[in-house]
């Protein structure tokens, strides 16, 4: 019996390493992230090759520097023919899911809502998908003065992060007996 290979890659956007407890900041109360770090892999010396979101992501998911993969600034897509880890894994019949902020399709900040090659379209969910499922009332609500969770303006179920997490849990439940690579990419706390 072979071991199942399962990888969950969790990303947050614009988060310094000292903004979570697992890297030693006792003022940051992040028990869930700390627990994941304790049970999983905690990178102590990981550096981004680019300070800008899109190009940094392009390097992570292609293994190529941004000047080689085409995504050298935000809203610029990957060069035609550049493969992502999702495509490489699909060639090996490894189920890949991507849930959350993508930022590599050449669309605006929110993406174009189209699942990239190699990833399971059933679980594809970028910020464009999130915006498309909001009602007019919800869109207006997100732009009002009382829009923060702290003052009771928005329920957690309304947030992109909550919906990303729920989809990730669905993926994990359905894929629990197979090899998979799941990326869970939060825009928050951007």
Give φ, ψ of 99 to 5 degrees.
-125, 115
Q: Known catalytic residue: 17? A: no
What are the contacts of 50-56 at 24+ separation with CB within 8 A?
53/13, 53/14, 53/103, 54/103, 54/104
Write the DSSP symbol of residue 185: E
Active site residue 162: no
Name the catalytic one among 17, 22, 103, 162: 103
pLDDT for 109: 81
Output the pLDDT for position 61.
97
- Of 53, 95, 115, 129, which is the active-site residue? 53
- Name the stretches of the chain with pLDDT < 50: none
The answer to whether the Cα torsion of 156, 157, 159, 164 is positive or negative is positive
> Which pTM was predicted?
0.89
Residue 90, pLDDT score: 97
* Domain range list for the chain: 6-13+83-185
In this prediction, residue 153 carries a pLDDT of 62
pLDDT of the residue at 6: 96
The Cα 110–Cα 131 span in angstroms is 8
Three-state SS for 174? helix
């Amino acid at each position: 019996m072979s071991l199942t290979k399962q990888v969950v890659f969790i990303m947050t956007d614009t988060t310094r390493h000292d903004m979570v407890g697992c890297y030693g900041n006792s003022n940051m109360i992040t028990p869930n992230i700390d627990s994941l770090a304790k049970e999983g892999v905690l990178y102590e010396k990981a550096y981004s090759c680019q300070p800008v979101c899109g190009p940094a992501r392009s390097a992570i998911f292609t293994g190529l520097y941004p000047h080689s993969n085409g995504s050298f600034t935000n809203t610029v897509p990957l060069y035609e023919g550049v493969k992502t880890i999702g495509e490489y894994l699909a060639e090996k019949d490894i189920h890949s899911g991507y849930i959350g902020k993508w930022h590599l399709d050449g669309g605006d900040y929110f993406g174009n809502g189209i699942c990239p090659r190699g990833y399971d379209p059933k679980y594809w969910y970028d910020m464009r998908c999130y915006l498309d499922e909001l009602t007019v009332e919800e869109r207006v609500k997100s732009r009002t003065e009382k829009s923060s969770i702290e003052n009771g303006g928005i329920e957690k179920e309304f947030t992109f992060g909550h919906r990303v997490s729920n989809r990730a849990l669905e993926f994990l439940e359905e894929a629990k007996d197979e090899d998979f690579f799941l990326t869970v990419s939060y825009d928050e706390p951007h």
